[in-house]
Amino acid sequence: MQLAAIVVSLVLIVVGVALFARAVLQIVNYMRLGQSVPAGTRTDAPGQRTVTVVREFLGHTRMNRWGVVGVAHWFVAVGFFSLLLTIVNAIGQLFQADWLLPVIGEWAPYNVFVEFIGTMTVLGILALIVIRQLSHPRKPGRKSRFAGSNFGQAYFVEAVILIVGVCIFMLHALEGAQHHVDSYEASFFISYPVVSALEGLDVSTLQNLTYFFAGLKIATSFIWMITVALKTDMGVAWHRFLAFPNIWFKRDAKGGTALGALLPMTSGGKPIDFTDPGDDDVFGVSQVEQFSWKGLLDFSTCTECGRCQSQCPAWNTGKPLSPKLLIMS
């Protein structure tokens, strides 16, 4: 099992990283198709913009308006980025079942963090799965904010997060069993019952279980990476990365909503002089390339969550217009 897990994992890692790098270049080139914006309007006050990104991500200032959804999403989002070292740990465990990260592998604060965030990530995604099913349009139809969303992609992402979260939990418990943790301690304050249950197994079984869960975690993670790399319009996955530049390049550096005075109509990144328009000036948008690069970034960051659709007066009064479906089209 160990050899098979190592070979499959390493192949998936190499392929996944290569395809993901290519996908990033494709997305950058796609954004370059968009029109430029007036100079300085999206890059002023870089320090303030960076603060806004940190505040909106860590505070989930938009998502938390949705109560339980916001809290659950916070743990899933934070877990995705803060538990990246568990991939390194899993790779090491493929070669040596009881391997720990150097320096921090036995550090209680780090283990408490992994234990807590990992567990809450699993609970968070389970909550989001339940909420999606309760809000499924199979009964309410267009009244559901998920009406028109791609459920296959959403189910795939949810399954990946759930599997990876369970693997993190089990690998941590297996660490405790292999290092002979025989009583409650901070590093295993949640998983100790599982650690205790595993202690009766022989060394070979513990090692094979470690190889299995480490291989499953790595395979799931990089199959996800390969999938999203091959489908760069999969906003439900790519928003994890694109949300950061999207927030940074907001109209208001302080993070204010985009509502307010209507911006001047531009063409080629310059305001149109309606008293003497240029021969090449384009009024409005008739092709996707005529949106600004920021507009294309906005479209690419859409998660199909339907929050915009649920608040759209046209959609809620039975009209065919939906901002979500327009972006997805």
Q: What is the pLDDT of residue 18?
A: 98
User: Does a structural domain hold residue 270?
Assistant: no
Q: What is the pLDDT of residue 207?
A: 95
User: Does a structural domain hold residue 176?
Assistant: yes
Contacts of 46 (CB under 8 A, 6+ apart): none
On average, the pLDDT of the chain sits at 91
Q: What is the pLDDT of residue 245?
A: 95
Read off the amino acid at residue 315.
W
Q: At residue 23, does pLDDT exceed 90?
A: yes
Average pLDDT over residues 47-63: 92
Note the pTM of the prediction, 2 decimals: 0.91
Q: At residue 41, does pLDDT exceed 90?
A: no
Rounded CA separation 235/240 (Å): 9
Q: At residue 259, does pLDDT exceed 70?
A: no
Average pLDDT over residues 48-72: 90
User: Does a structural domain hold residue 277?
Assistant: no
pLDDT digits (tens, 9 = 90+) for 264-276: 888 877 888 887 7
Q: How many domains does the chain have?
A: 1
Of 313, 278, 321, 302, which is closest to residue 149 (Cα–Cα)?
302
User: Does a structural domain hold residue 265?
Assistant: no
User: Does a structural domain hold residue 237?
Assistant: yes
pLDDT digits (tens, 9 = 90+) for 90-110: 999 999 999 999 999 999 999
Provide the residue range defining the domain that includes 300.
2-260+291-328
User: Does a structural domain hold residue 218?
Assistant: yes
pLDDT digits (tens, 9 = 90+) for 156-196: 999 999 999 999 999 999 999 999 998 899 999 999 999 99
